Amino acid sequence: MPGYHMHRIAEDVKRELFVLLREMKDPRLQGKLLTVVRVALSGDGASAKVYISAIEGKDAAAEAVKGLQNAQGFVRRELTRRLHLRKAPELRFFADDSIEAGTQILALMDTLDIPTEEEQSYAAD
* pLDDT tens string 91-105: 999 998 887 778 888
The reported pTM is 0.77
- Residue 78 domain-assigned? yes
- 44 secondary structure, DSSP code: T
- Residue 113 domain-assigned? no
Domain range for 21: 2-98
Q: Each residue of 41-88: pLDDT tens digit?
A: 988 888 999 999 988 888 888 999 999 999 999 999 999 999 998 888
Residue 9 burial (C-beta neighbours within 10 Å; 0-12, 13-18, 19+)? middle
What are the angstrom distances between the C-alpha of 114 and each of 19, 101, 117, 120, 125? Answer: 39, 22, 10, 10, 18
- Residue 91 domain-assigned? yes
CA–CA distance, 20 with 75 (Å, rounded to integer): 8
Q: Each residue of 106-116: pLDDT tens digit?
A: 888 888 877 77
Distance between first and last Cα of the chain: 57
Mean pLDDT of 7-12: 90
